[in-house]
Amino acid sequence: MSTSCKNTDDNSISLSYDHITLKIGESHSIYAYSIHQIEYHSTNDSIATVDDYGTITALFEGSCDIILDNKHETQTLTVNIPPLDFKEPYINRNGSSEDIEVFMGSETHHIEHTENIDFLYFIKYHDAAQIVYWIDNSNNTLIKTECFFENVIFERSCFQWLSDNYEYKDGYFTTNDGNTAISLRCDNGIVVMTFAANDITF
């Protein structure tokens, strides 16, 4: 879906409509001949982002206004983002030798089956983001992380030091005394680790 956005004779902006609805993770392009002259402002940039090329990306459930200002005319584009209808993720191993399938929302994630790979856990944030963590049980190493949003990918290196310094047991990373649990969450596209009531942001 693309919004028609054109420059009029006096170089002002004319939108064909002022409301759009995007699914979480979906992008929407606004086109204008003098795109570099337009400034974009969102009243809530944690709900949707706009890049320098006029591409709006919906991040979380809610509604926000994108204000287009080319110094001649200001127009407001309201972005509505409905909640996703999630299915609870689960594993279908399809026997002991087949690939593992994880179902998240409308997507199916595949991972090659090995005896050491297992499902760690998932996180919901604002009923929008879901991150799946995979772990290699042979050495307690996080080997893969996936986020529901295609534009937010977390690399293994962000979590490598967790398995280097902490023990994985029963779905949590713990200190050597086994009492302190470490949790991870997705906060507006940023991975935050909570340890001893303190947040550490990657």
Tens of pLDDT along the chain (202 residues) come to 444 444 444 555 566 678 999 887 778 887 654 445 567 777 776 678 787 777 888 877 789 898 887 767 788 889 998 875 544 334 444 443 344 444 444 444 444 444 444 433 333 333 333 444 444 444 444 444 444 333 333 333 334 444 555 555 544 445 444 444 444 444 444 444 444 444 333 3
Where are the alpha helices (H) located in the chain, listed in sequence order? Answer: 160-165
- Residue 47, pLDDT score: 78
DSSP, res 16: S
Query: What radius of gyration, in Å, describes the C-alpha atoms of the chain?
Result: 21
For residue 79, list its beta bridge partners: 20, 64
Pick the CATH number of 2-81 from 3.10.20.440, 2.60.40.1080, 3.40.50.720, 3.40.190.80: 2.60.40.1080
pLDDT given for residue 53 in this prediction? 74
Sheet holding 198-201, edge to edge: 167-169, 172-174, 181-187, 190-195, 198-201
DSSP letter at 66 equals E
**For the chain, what are the domain ranges?**
2-81, 91-201
Q: What is the pLDDT of residue 15?
A: 66
- Residue 80: predicted pLDDT: 92
- At residue 21, the pLDDT reads 92
